[in-house]
Amino acid sequence: MRQRSDAAENREAILAAAKRLLEHSPRATVTDIAAAAGVSRATVYRHFKSREVLAAAVAGQALPARAAVAEPAPAGRLGRRRPVPLEAINVFDAVPPPALPEQLLAEAQRMARVPLALYVADIDGSHLLRVAGPSRLPERIAAPLAVGPELDRAALAELRDRLASLPGAEIVPLWLRGRANGVLIALGRPEASLEDLARQASAAITLADRYTDTFARAQRRMQPKAAAEMQQGMLPPRIARVSGGEVAGNVLPSYEVAGDWFDVVENVDGIWITVADGLRSATRATAAAAVALGALRAARRSGAGVGEALLVMHATLKEMPGPHAEMTAVAARWDPTAGSASIVNCGHVPPIVLPERGRGVPVGRQHGHGLGGRSRPRPQETSVRLRPGDRLVLVSDGVVGRDEGKAGLGVDGLIAAAKGSSAATAAETVREIHSAVLDASGGELDDDATVVCLAVA
């Protein structure tokens, strides 16, 4: 009986909160109402199947039975009775995630009054793929510009040059934290600026991507192998603005292999960058990668230092059944306030420091055991100072190794490729190194080639 009483109290609290908020702010969301009532969104939806049902209950009105189920808003109008303010949370709350591409494009079309299409980048960065828009705009645009499925300013500038074949085409990037996760392409100058809409759309897409396959499906020209799909799901944003600089990273190839992984996160103690290279077949290596990444994050979130986190990864890999799940790994923690980076290496390719002027310098040497094997690793710890304009580059063996199936750049080739980056940004550094990898291998990689760059502002 107590559960029924609690349910009744929750319903009354939700109605009271909704009445207060909607009187003063008609655009209040379900999230706002739930917070004001002191309950979760799920609790609100248990009592009221949609925001419209809740608003009608507050007004003392009954809705038709069919209106009790949330329906997509009419195309080009995100609100049902009045336009929803184009703010990411409101858009995400009002539009079912699978319908988001068409809804965003219709809203942009209403403002621009010129033909538009919404594009996302392929996971290998080689094409822009149309996710919504008329067939008069290309279904795909060959453009080897992106760092994985993300674009930076230099890539967008080159894209504008490549779209000369579409007379009057204009590009509106979907910006979020220093990178674009899509673009709107307009045939003609929009009547109204789409920049604010594009920024909100980028945030809404990022939120929706956890709830639907719509965008992930659009980013794949072909079906990845299962291990590669697992790998893609583990990788962080490919371009990230961080305190004091920028980090970019990616793994090639994107549709197969899948033994490598990297992780980037910014915490109060600095920016953590980890790169690991699996040593067994793709599927088992990817399974081991998921276990190791979970161990890394658990250790890091529990306050472990860099070396401790790698040893936790080792111990966790040892617990896996079957053959030893081995990998090499290197982790760096950069403190932007102090300007120093702590680097811990377990049998991995040494990182390279590229000063603003002068030749690149390897940090430490490839020495000792990796993680997960019979021997306990002895992490090699080094500290380096990074000054404004410096870059720290971490790669996997697929980039520098000279065995069959690897790019074979070597340290000198890696440094030369990185130095070929005219802008010296993190994203352009990754692109230049991966271009050198593809040139050296003829695009036929049998080993993952991972590159991550930290560029100090």
CA distance 409 to 415: 9
B/e letters for 314-328, b = 16+ CB within 10 Å, e = fewer, are bebbeeeeeeebbbb
Q: Which residues pair with 328 in a beta bridge?
A: 277
- The DSSP output letter for 147 is B
pTM: predicted TM-score of the whole model, two decimal places: 0.79
CA distance 325 to 374: 10
pLDDT tens string for the chain (457 positions)? 444 567 788 888 899 888 888 887 777 888 888 888 888 877 887 888 788 888 888 887 544 433 333 344 444 445 444 444 457 777 777 788 999 999 899 889 989 999 999 999 999 999 999 999 998 899 999 876 789 999 999 899 889 888 887 888 999 999 998 999 999 999 999 999 999 899 999 999 999 999 999 999 999 998 999 999 999 999 999 999 999 999 999 999 989 888 899 999 999 999 999 999 998 677 888 999 999 999 999 999 999 999 999 999 999 999 988 777 899 999 999 999 999 999 999 999 999 999 988 889 999 888 888 999 988 899 999 999 999 999 999 999 999 998 887 899 999 999 999 998 878 899 999 999 999 999 998 878 888 999 999 999 9
Angle at the Cα of 111 (from 210 to 140), degrees rounded to 5? 55
CA 218 to chain centroid: 15
Angle at the Cα of 416 (from 414 to 421), degrees rounded to 5? 100
DSSP codes, 214-249: HHHHHT-SSPPPHHHHHHHHH---SEEEETTEEEEE
In 3-state terms, what secondary structure has residue 385?
Answer: strand
Tokens read off for 264: 């980037």
Tokens read off for 214: 């719509």
CA distance 402 to 361: 20
The residue count of the chain comes to 457
Least Cα distance to 391 among 418, 364, 420 occurs for: 418
CB atoms within 10 A of CB 442: 8
Compute, in degrees rounded to 10, the torsion defined by CA atoms 396, 402, 407, 412. 80
Domains, the chain, with CATH or none: 2-71 (1.10.357.10), 97-218 (3.30.450.40), 226-456 (3.60.40.10)
Tokens read off for 414: 């890696």
